[in-house]
Amino acid sequence: MDVMKRLENRQEVLWLNPGWESMKPRSVVDGYGFVPIKAAQNRMMRFIRYIARAFPETEKRAGVIESSLIEIPHMRQWLNECGASIKGRLFLKDDAHLPIAGSVKARGGIHEVMKIAEYVGQKEDKLWPADDYTKIDSDEFRQMYSRYTIQVGSTGNLGISIGRMAARLGFRAIVHMSSDAKQWKKDLLRSEGVIVKEYQGDYSEAVAAGRRESASDERSFFVDDENSEELFFGYATAALRVKAQLRRLKIRADGEHPLFLYLPCGVGGAPGGITFGFRQMFGDHAHCFFAEPVEAPCFLLGMASGKGSDICVQDIGLTGKTMADGLAVARASSFSCARMKKMMSGAFTVADEKMALYQKKIRDLEKIRLEPSACAGFEGLLLASEYQSNEDGKRGDVWKEYIESHGLTPFLDQATHIVWGTGGGLMPEE
């Protein structure tokens, strides 16, 4: 109840998941395990030669859509001056600079469009898994795909990911945008032939409109961010990639080397999928915390109340409005809530002014440009600070409880912290 009161009062809170369970890597949990992640990874690999050809920006990674894991020592020092007391190493997972979408949505969104492209290709007897997928980049395939429509509701970035990929393949693409969506995101999509429909209401309304419009057309596919498994497991593949990146950096993640992740959360698909992937790869050694704006903490609210997607932030008097447009979501994904019950470590909220400050600091200190949504995770490093615990009561104590109950106190010097920088790569200079 304490957490609920604090959410209502727009205080920054830290909530620990009481349902967290210990699990070994590759465990099957409630029917879901490693298999769908591997299937998503395999699908992405089937497409790499097509991607390398269709999106020249992916050439230097040979068509693999991946971002760098960047150590950010200046940001670490600044956070420590603010009271963070980070002892281990601090990294940014730079998904803002994932090709094609400029955000974490390149993982889930592009994977789901690939799945639709394969489905249609097989239905029309033109594309089979053993084929050379470069043939997709042809007038024949574009003509075939132009008879089908892909639709999505979005606060912006999912629209960019789905819209760009779908349009490049030749599909008719329609993106239903909420009022939070930034103008430059709409302009970018329109310039590439994507149909953008705008709504006065919030994200849920845009999704509902898209779902309705798609249902009335049997040649239309709807990417359902509130329930999609294809998005979720597309996001989950990130863990396989990061595992390889950590190995290359000779960084261990095990019982004596905890791995902390701080994941900006909107509807919960991206942080949920990433968490699922990390628990599949690292078991109990990955500690995954979600970050949400104080005005739009839909996932924390759904999990802490036990109501999942049956409750929205307006139900407790919040507006859902935030400068972090990528996180401006009032109701959580039911699929992700269900998957996270035993997997996520916890969630915290962060004020808009802090996101703006972190955005400025990472630009000034590390020369990395992120959008406000992408900076929510930095607050995670301050959860432990004395300063915070004096200022607003309990957050520092809650953090301490997590560290102690997981036996992590002796290993904090050897910890690795990863802040997920979820978007901003396509953001215009102004």
Q: What are the residues binding ligand PLP (CB under 6 A)?
A: 103-105, 157, 264-271, 326-327, 329, 371, 373-374, 422-423
69/162 with CB nearer ligand PLP: 162
Cβ proximity to ligand PLP: between 195 and 323 the closer is 323
Q: For residue 36, what is the enclosing H or E element?
A: helix 35-46
Which are the contacts of 26, defined by CB distance < 8 A and separation ≥ 6? 33, 34, 280
Decide: 107 and 238 in contact? Cβ < 8 Å. Answer: yes
Which residue in 263, 268, 197, 189 sits closest to 228, CA to CA?
268
Question: By C-beta, is 267 or 350 nearer to ligand PLP?
Answer: 267
Q: Between 186 and 285, whose beta carbon lies closer to ligand PLP?
A: 186
List, in sequence order, every beta strand (DSSP E) within 168-215.
172-177, 195-198
Measured from the CB atom, is 313 or 415 closer to ligand PLP? Answer: 313
Q: What is the DSSP code (8-state) at residue 384?
A: T
Cα(first)–Cα(last) distance of the chain, in Å?
Answer: 43
Long-range CB contacts for residues 25-34, cutoff 8 Å, separation at least 24: 25/279, 25/280, 25/281, 25/282, 25/283, 26/280, 27/279, 27/280, 27/283, 29/339, 29/342, 29/343, 30/338, 30/339, 30/341, 30/342, 32/276, 32/339, 33/280, 34/280
User: Strand 69-71's sheet: what is its strand order?
Assistant: 14-16, 346-350, 286-293, 259-264, 416-421, 89-94, 69-71
Q: What DSSP string describes 275-286? A: HHHHHHHHGGGE
CB of 63 to ligand PLP, least distance (A): 23
- Closest approach of Cβ 392 to ligand PLP, in Å? 24
3-state DSSP assignment of residue 70: strand
- Of 210 and 269, which has the nearer Cβ to ligand PLP? 269
**Shortest Cβ distance from residue 276 to ligand PLP (Å)?**
12
Expressed in percent and rounded to 5, the helix, strand and coil fractions of the chain are 50, 15, 35
Between CA 257 and CA 301 the distance in angstroms is: 31
Q: Give 234 or 396: the residue with its C-beta nearer to ligand PLP.
A: 234
Least distance to ligand PLP from the beta carbon of 228, Å? 9
> For residue 429, what are its two tokens?
């200079």
Closest CB to ligand PLP among 151 and 389? Answer: 151
Residue 292 CB, nearest approach to ligand PLP (Å): 9
Nearer to ligand PLP, 88 or 272 (CB): 272
Of 121 and 153, CB closest to ligand PLP: 153
Pairing relationship of beta strands 346-350 and 14-16 according to DSSP bridges: antiparallel
* Residue 398 parent element (H or E): helix 395-405
Tell the smallest beta-carbon distance from residue 372 to ligand PLP (Å).
8
CB-nearer residue toward ligand PLP: 95 or 403: 95
Number of alpha carbons in the 13 Å side-chain half-sphere of residue 268 = 30
CA distance 172 to 285: 43
Least gap, CB of 401 to ligand PLP (angstroms): 26
Q: Give CA separation, 284 vs 342, 347, 398, 406, in Å.
A: 11, 17, 19, 9
